[in-house]
């Protein structure tokens, strides 16, 4: 729907008492199963008045804490603050989750309107001197108080959050802090909206059948169905991963591969209304200003105080250590593909749009199988069964679909999660397929966090969102092996949220250091390569034949194919992130030049004119991974080390799984992550397990 068809909603015209208040489902108690969201009743025009009312209610709750005549203590100040604004948090979760997974022009307009108001609301709390005085009073007396580890963590986390949000600034600097955070809240949204708009804007329509040469039948069928849905003749490809990825991997037409690659790599870098260059510069500049205001040299210094890595120097050293180990192997892998392409008649230097095409052919020849051979054994419904079986074997969970629970899109499925004693554990939403209203990628989020304050047990509502290959008229949804590992990754995040057994919302689930949050997700990817797990569900969708043992062995052998190249690629993202955020001045050079310099040590290809990774690098400019992209490699070290215990004891060993659940998944952010990790592993991790797993020891 165009903007002309979606008139701007004036928040003043929709306040309670002016047409929507009493009927607004967001402001009423959620009476659905397990108090799930009333998605069928929510209309776009409900959001702004719900935000206004819930912010006002939350302000009153905060004021009650400030006005409490009793001396500040842990309960009446720290716990009360953690519980304040529950209704607002519920509304924020629904709105911003749907703005990522089921957005519209009107939703995006509301996001831009509400973001600065939420920024002001947050600043009114964190910059309130009376409230901070109460928090500080409790914090300074913490050593005299009798508290458990989680209570200490919440107290320290609350105090640090206020300090890091400007509570100690003078009035002039507080005003500046407000301006910075308000603008940043809008810039991140605008950045992501531009990426989505550019992703949806591109279409590659093929009308000559010979241009489909090399593409598997399933991909051709999907492209025909996409074209038909747009009332076009031919085969339509786009920049959503199930379409874009296979086209680069299989299409024989090199010119078309180049065209679609250039379109993807130049998103939001065309000098039009969706261009992100100015947004990038301003975001980096404002983040630096905020860090300097709070006493840090760089934004990375500010962020890493609350990370396992602790300092930018340690992150840079970590990235460089892995780079020095992997670069020689990556160069060897690049040369192998170059020589292989030449053996097939290719002349010249392979370019980025050639890499996956020739790599896939080399992989197929070397291991005598293709990913397309595996897909018929990975029907989505069977993979879901397999993932649920894994949850049962490791953690005793039972997941049961409940079609009576409301969902926000017809493609979303809702499940109830129970433990072995049939006790309710969580709600899980699964949203698998791409659509123009959904941003790209895959992620886990929650609609309600877990908590257990004063004996009131609140169980979480978790959502996993992906962009997997859809079914066609003739074929069910068949996943690539990469999509299976992605499912396991996000389900690992989901387990972290679902199995949480913490006291407070502020410490539960995935409320952990960002370089620890990827451990539960990445460790579960390992099961994808285990025959014992694949045998549980992987059968041919037509014949029912089990995934052959010979094919499983080939998958295992190919596990380390180009692992060094992939490591260098991930390291380049981490280095680019640090280049933007560990600097003491704004970026005043050409962004393409800046980007090339940042990743020069890892780059194996010639530069591509017009391409700019930064303009669609949503992780660091709109996804919270700023000065934190290294986390994926950091957690990979943890997961390789942790999974070695399962390899030693058995991949379904219940004692090991119980220990991982008890010490990691249930603990959330209740203690420092290294304490939790050592409680499971008995020692701190090293890079040795990762290098060994990757064949680079």
Token duo for residue 76: 């009446």
Compute φ and ψ for 144, nearest 5 degrees: -95, -10
The DSSP secondary-structure symbol of 589 reads S
DSSP 282-315: HHHHHHHHHHHHTT-SSHHHHHHTTSSS-SHHHH
- 20 pLDDT more than 80: no
CB-based burial label for 423 (10 Å; 0-12, 13-18, 19+) = exposed
Per-residue pLDDT, 375: 97
Average pLDDT over residues 632-658: 96
Which residue(s) pair with 539 in the sheet? 546
The kind and range of the H/E element at 414 are: strand 413-418
Which residue(s) pair with 461 in the sheet? 427, 448
User: CA-to-CA distance for 569 and 439, rounded, in angstroms?
Assistant: 22
User: CA-to-CA distance for 156 and 134, rounded, in angstroms?
Assistant: 13
Q: Is 621 in contact with 188 (CB distance < 8 Å)?
A: yes
Ordered by start, the domain boundaries in the chain are: 3-168, 202-265, 375-562+632-693
- Output helix, strand, coil percentages for the chain, rounded to the nearest 5: 60, 5, 35
DSSP 627-645: TTTTHHHHHHHHHHHHHHH
The kind and range of the H/E element at 464 are: strand 461-465
Shortest CA distance to 601 belongs to which of 350, 339, 319?
Answer: 319
For residue 259, how many other CB atoms are within 10 A of its CB?
Answer: 16
Shortest CA distance to 587 belongs to which of 271, 618, 579?
Answer: 579
Token duo for residue 473: 């008229």
The kind and range of the H/E element at 115 are: helix 105-126
CATH topology of domain 375-562+632-693: 1.10.1370
Per-residue pLDDT, 697: 66
- 686 pLDDT more than 90: no
For residue 670, how many other CB atoms are within 10 A of its CB?
Answer: 25
User: CA-to-CA distance for 378 and 562, rounded, in angstroms?
Assistant: 23
The DSSP secondary-structure symbol of 211 reads G
> Mind listing the pLDDT tens digit for each residue in 283-323?
999 999 999 999 999 999 999 999 999 999 999 999 999 99
**Residue length of the chain:** 697
Average pLDDT over residues 452-474: 96
User: CA-to-CA distance for 647 and 653, rounded, in angstroms?
Assistant: 9
Place of tokens 């290719």: 346
Per-residue pLDDT, 6: 29
Per-residue pLDDT, 17: 31
Average pLDDT over residues 383-399: 98
Token duo for residue 29: 């108690």
Place of tokens 């799984």: 657
- 160 pLDDT more than 90: yes
Place of tokens 């410490």: 507
- 11 pLDDT more than 60: no
Q: Is 227 in contact with 236 (CB distance < 8 Å)?
A: yes
Q: CATH 1.10.1370.40: does it fit domain 3-168?
A: yes
- 502 pLDDT more than 70: yes
The DSSP secondary-structure symbol of 671 reads S
Q: Is 153 in contact with 670 (CB distance < 8 Å)?
A: yes
CA triple 40-43-49, angle to 5 deg: 130
Shortest CA distance to 572 belongs to which of 297, 301, 319, 346?
Answer: 319
Average pLDDT over residues 530-550: 97
Per-residue pLDDT, 695: 78
Binned at pLDDT 50, 70 and 90, residue 22 comes out as: low
Catalytic residues: 490
- 254 pLDDT more than 90: yes
Q: Is 204 in contact with 260 (CB distance < 8 Å)?
A: yes
- Strand bridging mode 424-431 / 461-465: parallel
Average pLDDT over residues 508-525: 96
- 136 pLDDT more than 90: yes
User: CA-to-CA distance for 251 and 246, rounded, in angstroms?
Assistant: 8
* Distances from the Cα of 168 to the Cα of 84, 133, 165, angstroms: 22, 10, 9
User: CA-to-CA distance for 416 and 427, rounded, in angstroms?
Assistant: 5
> Mind listing the pLDDT tens digit for each residue in 203-221?
999 999 999 999 999 999 9
Q: Residue 60: helix, strand or coil by DSSP?
A: helix
Per-residue pLDDT, 216: 96
Rounded to 10 degrees, the C-alpha dihedral 437/439/444/449 comes to: -60
Q: Is 436 in contact with 426 (CB distance < 8 Å)?
A: no
User: CA-to-CA distance for 669 and 152, rounded, in angstroms?
Assistant: 11
User: CA-to-CA distance for 158 and 150, rounded, in angstroms?
Assistant: 12
- Which residues lie closer than 8 Å to 638 by C-beta, 6 or more apart? 516, 519, 522, 523, 677, 685
User: CA-to-CA distance for 575 and 128, rounded, in angstroms?
Assistant: 37
> Mind listing the pLDDT tens digit for each residue in 61-74?
999 999 999 999 99
Binned at pLDDT 50, 70 and 90, residue 16 comes out as: very low
Average pLDDT over residues 571-582: 98
DSSP 143-171: GGS---HHHHHHHHHHHHHHHHTTTTS-H
CB-based burial label for 207 (10 Å; 0-12, 13-18, 19+) = exposed
CA triple 153-155-158, angle to 5 deg: 105
Which residue(s) pair with 205 in the sheet? 236
User: CA-to-CA distance for 466 and 242, rounded, in angstroms?
Assistant: 11
Average pLDDT over all residues of the chain: 95
> Mind listing the pLDDT tens digit for each residue in 26-85?
999 999 999 999 999 999 999 999 999 999 999 999 999 999 999 999 999 999 999 999
Token duo for residue 421: 């004693």
């Amino acid at each position: 729907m165009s903007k002309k068809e979606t008139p701007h909603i004036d928040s003043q015209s929709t306040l309670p008492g002016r047409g929507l208040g009493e009927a607004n489902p967001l402001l009423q108690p959620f009476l659905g199963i397990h108090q799930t969201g009333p998605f069928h009743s929510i209309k776009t025009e409900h959001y702004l008045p719900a935000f206004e009312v819930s912010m006002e209610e939350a302000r009153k709750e905060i004021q009650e804490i400030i006005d409490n005549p009793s001396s500040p203590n842990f309960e009446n100040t720290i716990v009360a603050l953690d519980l304040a604004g529950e209704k607002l948090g519920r509304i924020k979760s629904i709105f911003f989750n749907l703005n990522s997974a089921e957005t519209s022009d009107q939703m995006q307009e509301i996001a831009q309107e509400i973001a600065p108001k939420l920024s002001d609301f947050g600043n009114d709390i964190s910059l309130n001197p009376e409230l901070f005085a109460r928090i500080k009073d409790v914090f300074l007396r913490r050593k005299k108080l009798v508290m458990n580890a989680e209570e200490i963590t919440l107290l320290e986390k609350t105090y640090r959050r206020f300090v890091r949000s400007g509570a100690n600034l003078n009035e002039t600097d507080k005003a500046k802090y407000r301006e910075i955070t308000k603008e940043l809240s809008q810039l991140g949204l605008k950045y992501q909206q531009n990426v989505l708009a550019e992703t949806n804007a591109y279409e590659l329509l093929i009308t000559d059948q010979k241009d489909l040469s090399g593409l598997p039948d399933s991909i051709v069928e999907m492209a025909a169905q996409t074209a038909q849905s747009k009332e076009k003749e031919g085969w339509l490809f786009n920049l959503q991963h199930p379409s874009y990825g296979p086209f680069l991997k299989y299409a024989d037409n090199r010119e078309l591969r180049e065209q679609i690659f250039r379109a993807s790599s130049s998103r939001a870098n065309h000098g039009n209304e969706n261009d992100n260059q100015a947004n990038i510069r301003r975001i980096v500049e404002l983040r630096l200003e905020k860090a300097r205001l709070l006493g840090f040299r760089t934004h990375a210094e500010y962020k890493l105080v609350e990370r396992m890595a602790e300092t930018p120097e340690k992150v840079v050293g970590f990235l460089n250590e892995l780079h020095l180990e992997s670069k020689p192997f990556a160069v060897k892998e690049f040369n192998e593909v170059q020589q292989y392409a030449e053996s097939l008649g290719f002349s010249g230097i392979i370019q980025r749009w050639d890499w996956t095409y020739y790599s896939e052919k080399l992989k197929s020849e070397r291991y005598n199988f293709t990913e397309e051979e595996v897909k018929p054994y990975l029907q989505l419904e069977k993979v879901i069964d397999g993932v649920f079986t894994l949850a049962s074997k490791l953690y005793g969970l039972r997941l049961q679909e409940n079609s009576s629970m409301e969902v926000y899109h017809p493609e979303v499925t809702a499940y109830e999660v129970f433990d072995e004693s049939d006790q309710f554990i969580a709600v899980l939403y699964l949203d698998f397929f791409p659509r123009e209203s959904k941003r790209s990628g895959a992620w886990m989020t929650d609609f309600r966090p877990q908590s257990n304050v004063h004996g009131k047990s609140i169980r979480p509502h978790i959502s996993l969102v992906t962009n997997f290959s859809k079914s066609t008229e003739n074929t069910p949804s068949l996943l690539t092996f990469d999509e299976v590992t992605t499912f396991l990754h996000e389900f690992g995040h989901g387990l972290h949220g679902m199995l949480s057994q913490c006291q407070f919302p502020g410490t539960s689930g995935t409320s952990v250091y960002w370089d620890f949050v990827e451990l539960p997700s990445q460790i579960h990817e390992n099961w994808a390569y285990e025959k014992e797990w694949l045998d549980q569900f992987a059968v041919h969708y037509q014949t029912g034949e089990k995934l052959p043992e010979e094919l499983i062995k080939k998958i295992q052998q190919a596990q380390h194919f180009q692992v060094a190249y992939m490591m260098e690629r991930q390291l380049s993202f981490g280095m680019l992130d640090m280049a933007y955020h560990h600097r003491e001045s704004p970026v005043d050079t050409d962004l393409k030049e800046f980007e090339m310099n940042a990743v020069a040590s890892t780059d194996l290809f010639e530069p591509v004119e017009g391409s700019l990774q930064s303009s669609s690098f949503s992780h660091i400019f709109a996804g919270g991974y700023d000065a934190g992209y290294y986390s994926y490699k950091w957690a990979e070290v943890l997961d390789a080390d942790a999974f070695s215990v399962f390899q030693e004891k058995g991949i379904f060993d219940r004692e090991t799984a119980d220990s991982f659940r008890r010490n990691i998944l249930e603990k959330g952010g209740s203690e420092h992550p290294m304490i939790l990790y050592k409680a499971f592993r008995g020692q701190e991790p090293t890079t040795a397990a990762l290098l060994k797993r990757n064949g680079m020891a």
